[in-house]
Amino acid sequence: MKAPRTAIVISASSDIGIALCKSWRNQGWNVAGTFRTRSPAVQELETIHKIPLFHCDLLNAASLQSSLSAIKQLYPSWDVLVFAPGFMEPIGHFHEVDFSAWEKGLNINFLKPLEILHQLLSKRSQNHPTVLFFAGGGTNGAVVRYSSYTISKIALTKMCELLGAEIPDTRFVIVGPGWVKTKIHESTLRAKEAAGANFQKTLEKIEKEEWISMEDVVACCTYLVTTSCHAISGRNFSTAFDRWGTSELEDA
């Protein structure tokens, strides 16, 4: 009997993280993760789905190390490692925002995930291990007033490409989930004038319910971390626009 996959989800308390944890646990996988803020959703993952979660404040060195030590003790190796933190703030023109807040966004979205990856890479299994990141808007155009978030996601996309080239025995993929109905948009709604045109665009998306479904995001991520196609490594995938899960994409 084939052993179940083991998945570690950093920021499992994010909306996408929660959905991935539930889906993979329901498929019989071993799943563990981290959370920053305890919530009813975190409680549900722990009590109903029996998923061990560990508190982790990415910006607190002691908290980060404690959670990683607990995860490594629980699961000596992993098959899937997911990074799901997303922090849009500060929102506003670069020259007007507080730089320490700008730097905080870069740390949460880019540097701290890579610090965790650096520590956990040696624990990867030999069963086609896959590292999954999430991209954001702005890769192909300037999304003004969101420079910290945008730059960190672009850097993460390039780092995924570099890692794919440097470490051929592990797959590194990054997913652009598109407009998904998650808590991250609350930052834009709170910002109002500072968000500029994106404030009205977000309101319109909410009113018209023009969202990429969470089911599609989970299906895309599951395909990417389970496919036997190794050529996906180092690449950026779009949930909405790429033909993931098809032989056409794999042949290309």
% helix / strand / coil in the chain, to the nearest 5?
50, 15, 35
In terms of Cβ atoms closer than 10 Å to its own Cβ (0-12, 13-18, 19+), residue 33 is: buried
CA gap 58, 148 in Å, rounded: 17
| pLDDT bucket at 139, cuts 50 / 70 / 90 | low
Query: What is the model's pLDDT at position 1?
Result: 60
CA gap 154, 133 in Å, rounded: 11
In 91-204, DSSP assigns E strands to 130-134, 171-176
pLDDT in tens, 56-78: 999 999 999 999 999 999 999 99
| pLDDT bucket at 21, cuts 50 / 70 / 90 | very high
CA gap 149, 12 in Å, rounded: 19
The answer to whether 224 touches 130, Cβ cutoff 8 Å, is yes
CA gap 216, 211 in Å, rounded: 11
Query: What is the model's pLDDT at position 151?
Result: 95
pLDDT in tens, 5-14: 999 999 999 9
The answer to whether 106 touches 198, Cβ cutoff 8 Å, is no
Tell me how far CA of residue 100 lies from CA of 43, 90, 105, 145, 148, in angstroms.
32, 10, 9, 16, 11
Residue carrying the six token digits 């969101």: 146
| pLDDT bucket at 228, cuts 50 / 70 / 90 | confident
Residues in CB range of 76: below 8 A, 6 or more apart: 123
For residue 209, report the phi and psi dihedrals to the nearest 5 degrees: 55, 45
The verdict on whether omega for the bond into residue 90 sits within 30 degrees of 0, i.e. cis, is yes
pLDDT in tens, 157-200: 999 999 999 999 999 999 999 989 899 999 999 988 999 999 99
Whose CA is closest to 90, among 131, 145, 43? 145
- Domain 6-182+213-251 superfamily per CATH: NAD(P)-binding Rossmann-like Domain (3.40.50.720)
224-235 exposure pattern, b = at least 16 Cβ within 10 A, e = fewer: bbebeeeebbbb
Whose CA is closest to 77, among 20, 6, 21? 6
pLDDT in tens, 35-44: 999 999 999 9
Say which DSSP state 20 is in: H
Prediction pTM value: 0.95
Torsional class of 140: left (φ above 0), alpha (ψ -120 to 50), beta (otherwise) = alpha
